[in-house]
Amino acid sequence: MAGVDDDKYVRYANIPIPSYDEATSSRPTSSQDLRGTGEINDEAERQGLLYRQPTVESARNSLDSDEEDDLRLPEVNGEDVARRQVEELDYLDPSEPDRSRRSPRLYHRARLRGKWSQGLSSLGATLSSIRLPSFRSLYRPVGSDTSRQPDTRTWLSRTAQRITIPERYRLSAPTAARLCGLFTLMALIYFLFAMDLFPGGHRRRRPFDPEAIRAFVQENINGDNIRESLAHITSFDHVAGTEGDLYLAKWMQERWAEEGGFDQLEMLPYHVYLDYPGERSVEIVQPESKRWTAALEEDQVYAERQQTKAWHGYSKSGEVEGHLMYANSGSREDFLWLREHGVETNGSVVLVKYGGDQSDAAFKIKSAAEVGCLAVLIYSDPSDVARDSEWQPPDDMVQRGSVAMTSYVVGDPLTPGSASSIDSTRLSMDDNSGLPSIPSLPLSWRDARVLIQSLEGHGQKIPRTWVHGKQGDSSSEWYTGTIVTLDADTPIVHLKNLNDANPLQQIWNLHGMIEGLETPDKKILIGNHRDAWCFGAVDPGSGSAVMMEVVRIFGELKRVGWRPLRTVEFVSWDASAYNFVGSTEYVEDHMDYIRESGVAYLNVDSGVSGPLFRAAGSPMWQRALLHVLSRVDDPASNGTASLRQKWDEHSTQFDGLRADGDYVPFQHMAGTSSIDFSFTRGVGQDQEYYPYHSCHETLEWMTTYGDPDFAYHATLAQIWALLILELADRPILPFDVSPYAEKLNTYIGQLERDAAGTYAQLNSLAHASAGDVLRATNFTLQPLRDAVRELGASAEAFHRFEDIWIANVLGGSMVESTQFALKRLEYNERLARFDTDLLDLAPNEGCPSGGLPGRCQYKHVVFGPRRESGYDVGYFPYVRDAVEVGDWKGAQEWVVRAGERVRAAGSRLLGTKNALLRSEAELWPA
């Protein structure tokens, strides 16, 4: 498949594409200006970005010497003067703007030659020979002759005389014939242009060579610029809504105004619920012999810089006291083991590690609350590091983060489903499904080690797989802890977590837009979040620094007159670290517009932390991504291997989207086809590879361990910019529905296995098959499989239009007719809407505007987070939600409903009358 797809790209890499005006008008091309809204300056030509066409001067030099002399010598007779005037009308001064367009454009036109110029000369002669009456002669001065005789004519004769044209104004027969012929000729010419049949009336080439644009982008990415941007971004902490965050937003705005060349640049604020660290403490208060107070904060990384305190965003404020307990990673299975072994969880302050079987901190807290715990302490375990890592986490490192329930509510937890303006109606912070119900705090290993040691000998010995930490740096045996009534010496912990909460905290999204030429109402959005938990060298600083360079590159293109076919909008999101707040509020604020106009969303968060490229997204992106990776070199190969080769060597998979990036509101809520990509060090969790969300995540870490020479940053910038060009400047969108259908079959297989496993677990069976589930519950995924099979057939038929377009436009005259251009725009429109058509917007119980019951913001029938695991992707989430609670009847209903959405999306590709493919002969008659 890859080979075929790549060939298609190569074949239309340099196709001349008309502007939107050209594609939808019937005007002759000779009257249309070059694409572009500004002067195509000398810089563009020097950089080789323009198509190479014969100039007016070179055309003149090809004429015979006599005509060349005529062009230089003054013409003195009347005929030459008339001919020169006609020709000069068609050669405009390049310094004069074209006033006939919406915006001024500068252009030249070559003079017409041959029979057409002769025809125009004859037409000019005809026009000059017509002697129209002088209207001034109709107004004679009133005479004063009093000797005039009375008028003896009858009323009828006087009327007849008045309507008779005076002889001096009558047209001669030859002149009337000429006028009749002129009008006939004009009508014929209009008809030819309207039907796009005018001989030689092909459109001008785009002034910029698409392949030269791509080469320019790759050759002009500057790693030193990225390093300088990252040095500034990481020079101060910038938590969302703080002074550092606002300063960074304004700094980026100034740089974008200077370098980006945007048509619009705007800072959009929202007022959202955020909280910040207030009074916090963790103490062992009993027994007296073990009294101790945790340090909580990290050591000062930079002596002269302010440093973010350690806390959990959106954690519940409170002050509690209870017996200490250890529960491994805090999963439901871990708490079940404790209960089965007689460990009392009720009334405890539980210590758990980051990562493990439960990767989402919010669900560690939820699981703890379900078994009666009063509070949760989550520590950074030093054993959670890749075995081959040169970097080792320091003992004082603390991982900050949000504990919002993202799989239930995304964005501002107080305004789910609507944008957070200053006067929005807000939910309560209490009993909010998007917020935790008990307090929590993050801890370093330095503090956690003391707590673990205090439990020695209390309660049950834990399984060997629960023992973590640095080898030889803690007790040889770890214990669970127990309750005071059974052990008077058990540690009692007092926890205080009093946050400063503000439901109206202002945040700022920065937007910069370059308007498209052909379809300006269609938008490609590019995003990275700006806020960080501390200095944020990896997350999100590396992505922000790379985006700054991509903005600069597109600004360079804009300055030489280039514009994309579709609108491109760069966005720096705010408050993403809390719960993807900035992006979600923007999408909720413009939901209908984004569903109608959004073509694609490209997201980068943690841009670079290692050399391994990874990507996830809607399957629509697979073709475009692999094409881009084929032309970008792997920095480690010294130019001998592309990233596509590395991708294939490692059998890398293009995964589905989880719920851990700013693509969530676009893909899962608005149905905009999204992609997320980065360079990492491995496929594990982030804390295994770098000091994730700690103040040790610095520029020094990046230059020592992450990407010392910034080669991967520069490579990421190439990938990002080329992907933007694929979506914004290809005449045909490079989306492909066929891989989508293939992936859906894979997702169905995974769901079927998970459903069988859930059935076995709910019924205490060792294992179960899909057949067992069907016989016991009548649950089957066959309706969904049938719908996906139909989608595959629809996709194959739909994409034949691209083959027809390539064969006729590229394989033919390299000319796209108006009719074919309109068909192409319709084809692109249907491609762009495919993911949107997979939204379930029909009302259901609890969700008036559609969506997953209990979490109505999520509306995509294919992608959505698993209900009880936070970020992890749950393919076909409607079905999965019902399966996980054993509601097999409800699950079957959702299978049918999901199948209907897939079938409807496939049908919309072709349309009810198969409009795109109705007749190839209709588009290109023999």
Of the pLDDT bands very low, low, confident and very high (cuts 50, 70, 90), residue 488 is confident
Distances (CA, A) of 340 to 333, 344, 345, 446, 763: 10, 10, 11, 30, 19
Q: How many CA atoms lie within 13 A of 558 on its CB side?
A: 23
Q: What pLDDT is recorded for position 162? A: 59
For residue 550, CA distances in Å to 136, 281, 307, 384, 687 come to 65, 44, 29, 34, 28
CA 201 to each of CA 71, 290, 812, 839, 923: distance values in angstroms, whole numbers, following the listed order: 26, 91, 15, 44, 17
Q: What is the pLDDT of residue 51?
A: 54
Residue with the larger pLDDT of the pair 921 and 474:
474
pLDDT score, position 125: 41
pLDDT band for 387, please (50, 70, 90 cuts): confident
Q: Are 15 and 807 in contact (CB under 8 A)?
A: no
Burial class from Cβ neighbours inside 10 Å (0-12, 13-18, 19+) for residue 302 reads middle
Say yes or no to pLDDT of 117 above 90.
Answer: no
104-108, 160-164, 210-214, 654-658: least confident range: 104-108
Instruction: State yes or no: pLDDT of 612 exceeds 60.
Output: yes
Q: Of the given ranges (486-490, 544-548, 824-828), which has the lowest mean pLDDT?
A: 486-490
The conformational region for residue 328 under phi > 0 = left, psi -120 to 50 = alpha, else beta, is left
How far apart are alpha carbons 607 and 622 in whole angstroms? 19
Helix (H, G, I), strand (E, B) or coil at 372: coil
Mean pLDDT throughout 917-924?
A: 45
Is 455's pLDDT higher than 50?
yes
Whether 838 and 656 have beta carbons less than 8 Å apart is answered as no
From the list 706, 688, 710, 687, the residue with the least C-alpha distance to 698 is 706
Could you give phi then psi for residue 855, rounded to 5 degrees? -155, 70
Question: For 648-702, how does the pLDDT look when each residue is reduced to its tens digit (9 = 90+)?
Answer: 999 999 999 989 999 999 999 999 999 999 999 988 888 899 999 999 999 999 9
Q: How many CB atoms lie within 10 A of CB 164?
A: 9
Query: Which ranges of 310-414 does DSSP label H, i.e. alpha helix?
Result: 332-340, 361-370
Q: How far apart are CA 7 and CA 13, in angstroms?
A: 10
Q: How far apart are CA 838 and CA 860, in angstroms?
A: 6
Backbone angles phi, psi at 270, to 5 degrees: -135, 160
Mean pLDDT to the nearest integer, 775-779: 97
The sign of the dihedral angle between the CA atoms of 46, 47, 50, 54 is: positive
pLDDT attached to residue 570: 98
Q: Which residue has the tokens 């008028």?
A: 151
Return d(Cα 351, Cα 368) in angstroms, integer.
Answer: 10
In percent, the amount of the chain with pLDDT more than 70 equals: 78
pLDDT of 116 above 50: no
Q: Which is nearest to 438 in space by CA: 274, 277, 320?
A: 320
Count of C-beta atoms within a 10 Å radius of residue 775: 10
Q: Lowest mean pLDDT: which of 50-64, 392-406, 599-613?
A: 50-64
Burial of 317 (0-12, 13-18, 19+ CB in 10 A): middle
> Collapsing DSSP states into helix, strand and coil, what is residue 681?
coil
What is the model's pTM? 0.82
Flag the least confident range among 279-288, 453-462, 896-905, 910-919: 910-919
Residue 177 binned pLDDT confidence (cut-offs 50, 70, 90):
confident
Rounded-to-integer distance, Cα 102 and Cα 750, Å: 53
pLDDT band (50, 70, 90) for residue 487 = confident
Backbone angles phi, psi at 274, to 5 degrees: -135, 155
Query: Would you state the structure tokens that stand for residue 71, as one six-digit string?
Result: 């062009």
Q: Given this model, what pLDDT does residue 21 score?
A: 52
Residue 725, pLDDT > 60, answer: yes
pLDDT for residue 64 is more than 80: no
What's residue 168's pLDDT? 61
Interatomic CA distance for residues 9 and 774, integer angstroms = 45
Q: For residue 144, what pLDDT is reported?
A: 38
Q: Sketch out the chain's domains with CATH numbers.
A: 210-269+514-736 (3.40.630.10), 273-500 (3.50.30.30), 739-910 (1.20.930.40)
Residue 176's region, left for phi above 0, alpha for psi from -120 to 50, else beta, is alpha
pLDDT, one tens digit per residue, over 326-381 is 999 999 999 999 999 999 999 999 999 999 989 899 999 999 999 999 999 999 99
pLDDT of the residue at 123: 41
> What is the per-residue pLDDT for 800?
95
Element (H, E) at 617: strand 612-617
Q: What angle do CA 304, 308, 311 make, to 5 degrees?
A: 155
pLDDT, tens only, 778-805: 999 999 999 999 999 999 999 999 999 9
3-state secondary structure of 12: coil
* Distance from C-alpha of 603 to C-alpha of 716, rounded to nearest angstrom: 12
Q: CB–CB of 412/581 below 8 Å? A: yes
What tokens were used for 154? Answer: 């009858």
List pLDDT tens digits, range 2-17: 444 445 545 444 444 4
Q: Give the per-residue pLDDT at 164.
A: 61
Residue 361 tokens read as 């901190």
The 10s digit of each residue's pLDDT in 561-610 is 999 999 999 999 999 999 999 999 999 999 999 999 999 999 999 999 99
Which of helix, strand or coil describes residue 300?
A: coil
pLDDT tens for residues 500-509? 999 999 999 9
- pLDDT score for 871: 78
Mean pLDDT of 19-23: 48
Tokens 């600069």 belong to: 552
User: Using 50, 70 and 90 to split pLDDT, how confident is the model at 56?
Assistant: very low
Instruction: Give the model's pLDDT for residue 11.
Output: 47
- The pLDDT score that the predictor gives to residue 152 is 58
* Per-residue pLDDT tens over the stretch 688-717: 999 999 999 999 999 999 999 999 999 999
CA distance 703 to 283: 38
Single-letter code of the amino acid located at 122: S
Q: Which long-range contacts (CB under 8 A, 24 or more apart) does 420-428 make?
A: 420/270, 420/271, 420/272, 420/273, 420/581, 420/585, 421/270, 421/271, 422/271, 422/504, 424/271, 426/273, 426/503
- pLDDT score recorded for residue 150: 55
Instruction: Name the token pair of 684.
Output: 């594990």
- pLDDT at position 29 is 36
